Amino acid sequence: MKKVLCEIRHERIDPSRVFEFASDFSHGAQTFFFGSVRAKNQGREVIAVGYDAAIPLAEKALEEIVTEAISKWGVELKICILHRVGKLSVGEISVAIGVSSPHRDEAYLASRYIIEQIKLRAPIWKKEFYSDGETEWLKGHALCQH
Amino acid sequence: MTTVPVIDIKLNLFGAFRKYESKGTPISFQVHESMSVKMFKKRLADRLRELFPDFTDEQLIEDSAIADETRVLSQDHFLTGSCNLLILPPVCGG
C-alpha cells in the first residue's frame, strides 16, 4: 500500500482525496492541515494569490521532507501533501497535509514539521494581487547554497 | 593566444524573476566553461543589466540559489558543459 503522496498541481485540491489517502484502520490518529488564501496580509486587501513553483524540484523537496518526518516519527506514518500552483482566489486551499499515525502525538508533530519545512525549503513562490490593482511577490527564505 | 571555451546556458526563471521572461521562455546566453556558480550569478546580473537598463535586482540574484534540473548547486560548483539551469529566489510556499 502506498504510504506517501506528494503532488504539486494546477487543479483544485479536493479535501476528500487527502482524507482518503491519509486514513488507515490500524491507525488511531489523523491530522489534516489546510492552508488557504486569506483576504488580508499586512494591512492590504488581497483578492488573489498566484503560486509559482519549480515543480520537479519542489516535489523532490516535499519527498525529502516526508522522508525526514518518517525517520523522526515512525515508519508507520502515512502522509499526503498536495500543493497548488496558479492563481487562487481568497478562500481557496493552497496546501493540504494529511498525516495518519497510530497515535496523535506523532501525527501532530509530523504535520507541523512538514508545513514549516515546506515554507523554508520547497521552491514555491507567492504573488499577491491586491484590491488596488497592485501586485507583489512575497519575500521568503533563501535556499541553502552550500 | 588561447581562447576560453564557452558553454550555452538556458536559465529558467521563477517567482520575482518571471518579469524578465519573454513569453515564458528561458533566458539564453553564453558563459565561459568552468565558471563557478558564484561567478555565474555575477554574469547573470550583467546580462540582465544589458537586457533591462532599469534592472535593480542584484541583491535578489545574490539571495537566490542556482539549480540544475535535479538539485540546488553550491556556490563553488563549476559549470562544465552547456545546460539548463534554474534560478530560485527565496521561497515562501504554503
Q: Quote ipTM for the complex.
A: 0.93
Task: Read off the pLDDT band of A146 (50, 70, 90).
Answer: confident
Q: Whole-number mean pLDDT of chain B?
A: 94
Chain A (43-82) residues lying within 8 Å, Cβ to Cβ, of chain B: 51-54, 56-58, 60
Using a pLDDT cut of 70, give the percent of chain A over it: 100
Q: In this structure, is residue A61 part of a structural domain?
A: yes
Least confident of A9-13, A23-27, A127-131: A23-27
CA gap B30, B23 in Å, rounded: 20
Question: In which domain, by residue range, is A84 found?
Answer: 4-130
Task: Read off the pLDDT band of A1 (50, 70, 90).
Answer: confident
pLDDT at A145: 82
Q: In this structure, is residue A9 part of a structural domain?
A: yes
Residue A65 phi/psi, 5-degree rounding, is -65, -40
Contact list in B for residue A57 (CB cut-off 8 A) is 67, 69-72, 86, 88
Q: In this structure, is residue A141 part of a structural domain?
A: no
The nearest CA of chain B is from the CA of A88 a distance in Å of 13
Question: 3-class DSSP state for residue A85?
Answer: coil
The yes-or-no verdict on residue B4 having pLDDT over 90 is no
A136 at B interface, C-beta within 8 A: no
The yes-or-no verdict on residue B24 having pLDDT over 90 is no
Q: In this structure, is residue B66 part of a structural domain?
A: yes
The yes-or-no verdict on residue A20 having pLDDT over 80 is yes
The yes-or-no verdict on residue B23 having pLDDT over 90 is no
Q: Are A35 and B64 a contacting pair at CB < 8 A?
A: no
Q: What is the 3-state secondary structure (H, E, C) of B29-92?
A: EEEECCEEHHHHHHHHHHHHHHHCCCCCCHHHHHHCEEECCCCEECCCCEECCCEEEEEECCEC
Supply the CATH number for residue B80's domain. Answer: 3.10.20.90
Helices (H) and strands (E) in chain A, counts: 3, 9
Q: What's the structural domain count of chain B?
A: 1
Q: In this structure, is residue A142 part of a structural domain?
A: no
The nearest CA of chain A is from the CA of B87 a distance in Å of 9
Average pLDDT over residues A45-65: 98
CA gap B67, B50 in Å, rounded: 23
Q: In this structure, is residue B1 part of a structural domain?
A: no
Average pLDDT over residues B48-69: 95
Q: In this structure, is residue A144 part of a structural domain?
A: no
Q: In this structure, is residue B55 part of a structural domain?
A: yes
Q: In this structure, is residue A35 part of a structural domain?
A: yes
Average pLDDT over residues A111-115: 98
Question: In which domain, by residue range, is B64 found?
Answer: 6-88
Average pLDDT over residues B68-92: 96
pLDDT at B15: 97
Least confident of B13-17, B50-54, B69-73: B50-54
Supply the CATH number for residue A76's domain. Answer: 3.90.1170.40
CA gap B33, B1 in Å, rounded: 17
pLDDT at B2: 75
CA gap A69, A77 in Å, rounded: 9
Q: What's the structural domain count of chain A?
A: 1
Q: In this structure, is residue A42 part of a structural domain?
A: yes
Q: In this structure, is residue A145 part of a structural domain?
A: no
Q: Are B88 and B11 in contact (CB under 8 A)?
A: no
